[in-house]
Amino acid sequence: MRTFLSAGALITAAALTAISAPAAHAVLPATKGDNGTVKIHDAATGEELKNNEPKVCEFYLVAFKFDAGQKADWEIQAWANNDLDKGTVVESGSLTLDEEGHERTEDMKLPKGQYKLFWTFEGENGKAKHKVFKSTCEDVEPTPGTSEPTPGTSEPTPGTSEPTPGTSTSAAPAPGGDDASGDLAETGNGAPLGLLAGLAAVLVAGGGYLLARRRTATRH
Please give the pLDDT value at position 92: 98
pLDDT tens readout for residues 145-192: 333 443 444 454 455 555 545 554 444 444 444 444 444 334 444 445
Do 62 and 80 form a contact (C-beta atoms < 8 A)?
A: no
Please give the pLDDT value at position 215: 61
Please give the pLDDT value at position 24: 42
> Dihedral of the CA atoms 77, 82, 86, 91 (nearest 10)?
-20
**Would you say residue 17 has pLDDT above 60?**
no
Please give the pLDDT value at position 125: 83
CA pair distance 169, 167, nearest whole angstrom: 6
Q: Identify the residue with better confidence: 194 or 122.
A: 122
pLDDT tens readout for residues 32-91: 657 899 999 999 999 999 999 999 999 999 999 999 999 999 999 999 998 899 999 999
Please give the pLDDT value at position 139: 80
Sign of the alpha-carbon dihedral angle for 147, 150, 154, 155? positive
> Mean of the pLDDT values across residues 197-208?
66
Largest CA distance in the chain: 202
Say whether pTM exceeds 0.95.
no
> Mean of the pLDDT values across residues 18-30?
45
Please give the pLDDT value at position 196: 61
Beta strands in the chain (DSSP E): 37-42, 55-56, 59-64, 71-80, 89-96, 103-104, 113-121, 129-135
Going by pLDDT thresholds of 50, 70 and 90, the confidence category of residue 199 is low
pLDDT tens readout for residues 100-139: 999 999 999 999 999 999 999 988 887 889 999 999 998 8
**Would you say residue 9 has pLDDT above 60?**
no
